[in-house]
Structure 1
Amino acid sequence: MSAGWSYRLLALIAGKLRRRKAQTLLYRICYRLFDLTVVVAILALAILLYVHQYGGIVVSRHPEKLKLAESSQILSADGTLLRTLPLPGSGYRLAAMLDEMPQLLLDTFLAVEDRRFYSHQGLDYRGILRAFVNNATRGSLSEGGSSITQQLARNLYLNREKSWLRKLNEAGVALELERRLSKDEILQLYLNQIYMGSGQYGVKAAAKRYFGVSDLKLLEIGQIAGLAGLPKGPSIYNPLDHPEQYRIRQKLVLKVMYQSGLISYAEMQQAARQTFQLPERERASTEGIGVSYLDAALREAARKTGITPEDLRTGGYTLVTAMNSGAQQVLEQVFADTSMFPPDGSDQQVEAVMTIMDHHTGEIIALMGGRDPQEGGLNRALLDARQPGSAFKPIIAYGPALESGRFTPESMLPDRKAAYGTYRPENLNGIYRGQLSMRTALQQSVNAPAVWLLQQLGLSNAREFASRLGIKLAPEDNNLAIALGGLHSGVSPLSMTQAYSVFASGGVYQEAHLVRRVTDKQGRTVYEHQSKRKQVVSQATAAGITAMLRSAVERGTGQKARMNLPVAGKTGTTQLDLPGVSSKANRDLWFVGYTPQWTAAVWMGFDRTDSHNYMTAGSGKAAALFAAVISRAAAQAGSSHE
């Protein structure tokens, strides 16, 4: 065989080998591609299954997320807004239905945030693809491509972490929301849930905060553009903190509105030129007042409605209280005057409480639960923890005596030392007059006659009389020491106000209350106080007690309560009685009294009375505080009606 043929044969064999290798490589590539396709398909199926399963599980486990917390509001008796209650995290939300929003607002949000909202099923695939390409180009997750439904899913159920897993979870929840809710329901949730900066959630809260507009249909074009521009960056585009950035964003949204055919060119130009005077943060004269009052009102509303305090705060309720904001302001102004109180102790401030009630209606019009009340703090006005001292005598001794018909204010009572078993009461000054009238005994707050009188009446009769005034005594109080206000647990200033209000109103009991009405977010009444007047004490008894209590103010221990109004009232003092401490040391100072319009109780003392924290001042301090508050509040009320 020639050399040429040999070369040709070798070349032929080599060519065949190359072709065979090429075919083998092609086969391998095809097999690999097939395997990869199968893997990708399985992975896609797994992802799809995960997305659907995750969304269903998350939404099913947290149905409460679809019920947005909404700030409740508390109003005074005249309808003035006292407080919009913050949500957990200190934000505010005022929810609105879609039909409360102008169509231009809805269309603008859709044009800016999700043009295809009503045509996609929760995921805008074109937007997602665009975002994917841009993110891949930049090598980051800077662009979201999220639909309104996805944004709602993220805000309700997820965090803002930028990761592929979070995007998958977001897609799953979005798809589940689309299955459960209509498009209008999703849009309404979104517009009420979205954060709008400055602690405001939802378009209604933002409109009110930034523009002072409560009715969304009164929004102007420029304001609508401003609101629609906020979700992009609420911290950098809100008009309060960044007015220049806000204007730039607003003009961009106006351009989008024009390009989308929502407004004309002239309207765009006019809105771009228009400026709005941003409202100062609402600081009405009533803002910040009544911390203790509102705490007590929320507790009462929860008790009356069966709604938890937390739900009352975040359920969009409106609580109409009985607060007289003028009287409450006067009360807080007087409490700010340190000269009205005894000196502080070595490591505690002297505390004080005052409650004021309109005894014609039973409404508590003003209340202070401490000198420096804090939200969620101790409300001393409601605690049955203080010994009332001699302020309890009209309730447990003199009132029952007159009601029995056996005694009158002029009846003579023994004033001498006496022992009742092991109980040996004493007059504070150590002076005994043999006998004196009931009027004088109450006027001068003499102890011995009160104890003798209670012993004559019987404990059961006296306790029953006190219960008619709203004071239920414990079984441990079945002893004569209660004649001088020595109670097992004590009473609250509010309960003392309630009790004296019966004397003030001619023997009529009306339940003391702070809440007039509670309505839900739809305006439906869920609770309304029904005033019930009940004659629990005879008018003669009430008149007799009132006459004696006026004498106590005019010529007795309550003289510092005198003012240019008829006043009836009684002081009360409980001594500290600790070894090694001055005999002048006092634990509790009281004055409880009333004018023709109002009944009020004042208490002063320490939260923890001990050898380093006690008062040497007398109950005249409490009487003086009563006079300062009531006289000023009454004068203000009188001038407001002229």
Structure 2
Amino acid sequence: MARGRGRTGRDEPNFDVPEGRVASPGSLDLRLSRDDRAGGGVAAKRGTDGQAQRGRGGAVPPGRRSAPAPRKATKRRGSFLARLTYACVVLGLWAVIGLAGLVAYHASQLPPIDQLAVPKRPPNIAILASDGSLLANRGETGGRVVGIKELPPYLPRAFVAIEDRRFYSHLGVDPVGIARAVAQNLTRRGVAQGGSTLTQQLAKNLFLTPERSASRKIQEAILALWLEHKYSKDEILELYLNRVYFGAGAYGVEAAAQRYFGKPAKSVSLAEAAMLGGLVQAPSRLAPNRNLPAAQARAAQVLAAMQDLGFAKPQDVKVALAQPARPASSRGGGSANYVADLVMDVLDDYVPKFDTDIVVQTTVDTGLQAAAEKALVDELNAKGGRYNVGQGALVSMRPDGAIRALIGGRDYAQSQFNRATTAKRQPGSSFKPFVYLAAVERGATPDTVREDAPIRIGNWQPENYSHQYEGAVTLRNALALSLNTVAVRLGQEVGPKAVVQTAQRLGITSPLQANGSIALGTSEVTPLEMVGAYGAFANGGTGVIPYVVTSVKSTDGKPLYKRGEGGLGRVIEPNAAGMMNAMMHETFVIGTAKKGDIPGWDLAGKTGTSQDFRDAWFIGYSGNLVTGVWLGNDDGEPTKKASGGNLPVEIWKTYMMVALKGQPPVPLPGMNRWRKGPEPTATVAAAGGPVGGILGTILGETQPAPPPRQQTSQRQRGPSQDDRNFLEKLFGLGE
């Protein structure tokens, strides 16, 4: 091998050449062999012993190199990982591009971001009683908007704890929460937890339909990011609390608190807050008024989450678990809803348009409303089955027309039909005061005498309830005893048209048929009309228009409506009103409402029963309150002899005893001038006639002797069945 050195003394590169050859610049082969290339050497031949063949002495043949086997394997592995990494990066880029395109597509289906705005919440109508307490909410939401600062701190925290514990740290979409939800759902049966944030839920409620799809979830996430950009966390939480659905038509936490606990949201306890927080997961399944055990179990989960996050003290949680929340009971489905329905029926007359929450002040007294409901429902529960009476209604108002209580049915939850304002039924004898007033206005007085005897008008021959006749009788007694023949005679004297006009003048608005039978109340009217018309008697002759709304305001106090002076003006002359009050007072003294008398009070009124006992009425009043009761069946099925003098009078008295308690008696206008003077008392047996004999024999009571009267040929001697029927009538079992 020849070597050479450079001038600098450094070793110069040299190349070995095969023996027998002379190295020359032209003979050097500098090309890479196959073994010198990447991946080379794989074709090296091996001997029979498995060792690669080499040159003499084990040397590598000239011009060849061989890479050790381990080095070749490392290169192969490295190149595979590189290709895999490269493929993943490419696929990731394509996935990002595809996702971006998908997001862009779904974003294009939404309104432009610069045009997005939180839609206005449908206005709520808060209907208040006369004392300012809440009777009901109306509108699409069922409750007013509340500010988050109005609420106890634990109420919004309950929702954060159970629905979105990372609410204050994420940007609207929570990848950690989604991962946690996926992990928990994989370890449990069914879907245990969702991954939507409160912001996403709000976005869905505000802008999207409730459908479940990937498209909607993408839009939900986009809108959640927009909400987080535009509003603070507390503003988002406040929007959520006022929009989320709690079931039973309640949207928002205020509506839910009123619906389930009968109190405003600011007054709920920790246990109640936890129940509300857990309710939004499944409002129908977890509603406490439908599935209380499930609602309480869910509330316990909320309390545990609140304690875990430090949102509630352990001792407070312990108390809440020991005393779990329960829904407020609402007797009869909440009769105040009948009042609320009436308010909504008339509200357009006062405030045609509004787009914000409003507050409606009413005339209704919550204590009287509760007393009226209890009186009606208790009576029907006790005796409704015996008398085959399924429904009832009660209206009570001041003599100026202000409604103090209104019951439209036995159970609002079972039937929302308002029988007090909408059901038109025959009033029977309770219509007779309009006939007598028409006669008084044409010269009759309470002491005017008319004949109680059979009468025929064409083919029609009306009869008294007792099928007996009293002969000559004063109008005072004829009205108190509800004698049909006298009412018909008076109707014929003044003319059916005059009777209709008189009733309409006092406020009856339903169509009335001007025929002979109008004197017996055969044209249909509503309880509200009848009570309103009787108000003119109670106040001394001024016609009233029943009303329930006194004012309407916005939630910030801006007045939208205030009731002024109203009414129909004078519709009865004071003297005529005094005579009518004196005659109807006798209904409580000797007539069909004797059992309804309240000691110490001047009272007046009239019972009524329609044909075949289908409808039973009593409308009575003092100088400060007019109350009417109707009982019957919605399908017009006859009752089992329920008449104005039994169940309605009993309901009326039960209610009026509460309504008048503690108040000084108020005289009836003009009645004293025409009050029946004291008469000598005698035993009932001496009162004359077989009926008096029966009463004296059975009861041994005394009562004022009736005025002399002429006996007719139809009057029977001795205790007959007709006399017994008349006895039932006097004790309130008939007219």
Normalising to structure 2: TM-score of the pair?
0.63
Match of 1:635 among 645, 658, 661: 661
Q: Distance in 1 between matches of 2:429 and 2:515?
A: 16
Aligned equivalents of 1:291, 1:530: Cα separation in 2: 33
| Contact 1:561–1:567 (8 Å) recurs in 2 | no
CA distance in 2: counterparts of 1:492 and 1:181, whole angstroms: 53
Q: CA deviation at 1:430?
A: 4.6
Deviation at 1:273, TM superposition (A): 6.2
Higher mean Cα deviation, 498-507 or 564-573? 564-573
1:391 corresponds in structure 2 to 430
Counterparts of 1:408-487 in structure 2 under 5 Å?
408-432=445-469, 435-474=472-511, 477-487=513-523
Residue pair 1:195, 1:231 contacting (<8 A) in 2 also: no
Structure 2 equivalent of residue 56 of structure 1: 111
Among 218, 240, 248, the alignment partner of 1:190 is 240
CA distance in 1, matches of 2:87, 2:148: 54
Name the counterpart of 1:353.
393
1:369 aligns with 2:408: yes
Q: Counterpart in 2 of 1:587?
A: 614
The structural deviation recorded for 1:391 is: 1.1
- Report how far residue 341 of structure 1 moved: 7.0
Is 1:560 the counterpart of 2:586? The answer is no
What is the CA-CA distance between 1:275 and the residue it aligns to?
7.0
Post-superposition Cα deviations, 1:496-527, rounded to whole Å, max 9, x if no partner, equal 11111110110122322334444444454444
- In the TM superposition, residue 355 of structure 1 has moved relative to its aligned partner by 2.0
> How far off its partner does 1:162 sit?
8.9
- What does 1:146-545 align with in structure 2 at a 5 Å threshold? 149-156=199-206, 165-175=215-225, 177=227, 185-193=235-243, 241=297, 248-254=304-310, 288-289=330-331, 293-306=335-348, 317-338=358-379, 344=385, 349-359=389-399, 361-374=400-413, 376-395=415-434, 397-404=435-442, 406-432=443-469, 435-474=472-511, 477-487=513-523, 490-533=524-567, 534-545=569-580
Per the TM alignment, residue 482 of structure 1 is displaced from its structure 2 partner at its CA by 0.5
2:111 alignment partner, SS class: helix
The alpha-carbon distance between structure 1 residues 232 and 450, as it changes in their structure 2 partners (threshold 3 A), is closer
Distance (Å, rounded) in 2 between the aligned partners of 1:193 and 1:107: 16
Q: Which amino acid aligns with 2:474?
A: S
Q: Does the CA-based 8 Å contact 1:606-1:614 persist in structure 2?
A: yes
Partner deviation per Cα, 1:448-493 (whole Å, 9 max, x = no partner): 3322322332333332221122102426x12121111111xx1122
- 1:283-325 CA-to-partner distances (Å, cap 9, x unmatched) read 88xx62575742332222213322999x99x986544433333
Work out whether residues 95 and 204 of structure 1, in 8 Å CA contact, stay in contact via their aligned partners in 2. yes
AA of the residue aligned to 1:594:
Y
The 3 A distance-change label for structure 1 pair 401 and 384 is farther
Report Cα offsets for 1:363-420 as digits up to 9, x if no partner: 222233334443653332223421111110112x11122234x322233335454444
Letter in 2 for 1:79: G
Number of positions where the alignment pairs a residue of Structure 1 with one of Structure 2: 577
Distance 2:643 2:296 in 1: 53
Against the structure 1 CA distance between its residues 138 and 9, is the aligned structure 2 distance closer, same or farther, given a 3 Å change threshold? Answer: farther
CA gap of 1:326–1:41, structure 2 versus 1, over 3 A, is closer
Q: Which digits, 9 at most, give the CA deviation of each residue in 1:55-84, with x for residues without a partner?
A: 4399999975x51676x6544333344556
- Aligned equivalent of 1:264: none
Is contact 2:257–2:264 with CA below 8 Å preserved after alignment?
Answer: yes
Shift of the 169–380 alpha-carbon distance from structure 1 to 2, 3 Å rule, reads same
Change in 2 beyond 3 A, CA 1:167/1:544: same
Secondary structure, counterpart of 2:132 in structure 1: coil
Q: CA deviation at 1:587?
A: 2.1
Deviations 1:72-97 (A, max 9, x none): 65443333445567987xxx765323
Letter in 1 for 2:305: R
**Cα distance change, pair 195–502 in 1 and its aligned pair in 2 (3 A):** closer
- Give distance in 1, aligned partners of 2:247 and 2:464: 66
What one-letter code is carried by the residue in structure 2 that aligns with 1:53? S
Q: Say which SS state the counterpart of residue 380 (structure 1) adopts.
A: coil
CA distance 1:186–1:590, change in 2 (3 Å): same
Provide the rounded CA distance (Å) in 1 between the counterparts of 2:203 and 2:506. Answer: 56
Secondary structure in 1 aligned to 2:385? coil
CA distance in 1, matches of 2:535, 2:222: 62
Distance 1:341 1:594, change over 3 A: farther
2:238 and 2:475 map into 1 onto residues whose CA distance is 70
Q: Say if 1:214 and 1:609 are closer, same or farther in 2 by CA, change over 3 A.
A: closer
Backbone CA RMSD of aligned residues: 5.5
Asked if structure 2 preserves the Cα contact closer than 8 Å seen for 1:410 and 1:438, the reply is yes
Q: State the alpha-carbon separation in 1 of the partners of residues 325 and 127 from structure 2.
A: 18
The answer to whether residue 631 in structure 2 is matched with residue 597 in structure 1 is: no
- Is this contact kept in 2: 1:553–1:559, CA < 8 A? yes
Q: Residue in 2 aligned with 1:615?
A: 640
Deviation at 1:550, TM superposition (A): 0.9
Distance 1:156 1:307, change over 3 A: farther
Residues 1:630 and 1:162: Cα distance change in structure 2 (over 3 Å) = closer
**Gap change, CA 1:408 and 1:100, over 3 Å in 2:** same
CA contact (8 A) 1:459 1:478 kept: yes
Q: Distance in 2 between matches of 1:103 and 1:138?
A: 29
Query: How far apart are 1:591 and its partner, in Å?
Result: 1.7
Are the structure 2 counterparts of residues 95 and 165 from structure 1 closer, same or farther at C-alpha, using a change threshold of 3 Å? same
Whose helix fraction is larger, Structure 1's or Structure 2's?
1
Q: Which stretches in structure 2 are left out of the alignment for 5+ residues?
A: 1-17, 19-28, 43-75, 287-291, 666-735
Query: Percent sequence identity over matched residues?
Result: 28
How far off is 1:538 after superposition? 1.4
Which residues of 2 match residues 2-21 of structure 1 at below 5 A?
none
Partner of 2:607, secondary structure, is strand
Superposition deviation, residue 143 in structure 1: 8.5
State TM-score, norm by structure 1.
Answer: 0.70
C-alpha separation in 2, matches of 1:75 and 1:153: 33
Please give the secondary structure, in 2, of the residue aligned with 1:44.
helix
The farther-off stretch of 94-103 and 27-36 is: 27-36
Asked whether the 8 Å contact 1:340–1:625 carries over to 2, the reply is no
Return the alpha-carbon distance in structure 2 between the equivalents of residues 56 and 307 of structure 1. 37
* Shift in Å, 1:616: 2.6
Change (3 A) 1:349 1:412: closer
* C-alpha deviation, 1:26, in angstroms: 13
SS of the residue 1:168 aligns to: helix
Report if aligned partners of 1:557, 1:620 keep a CA contact under 8 Å in 2.
Answer: yes
In structure 2, distance between residues paired with 1:46 and 1:443: 88
Find the residue that maps to 2:661 and give its secondary structure: helix
For the Cα contact (< 8 Å) 2:278–2:299, is it kept in 1? no
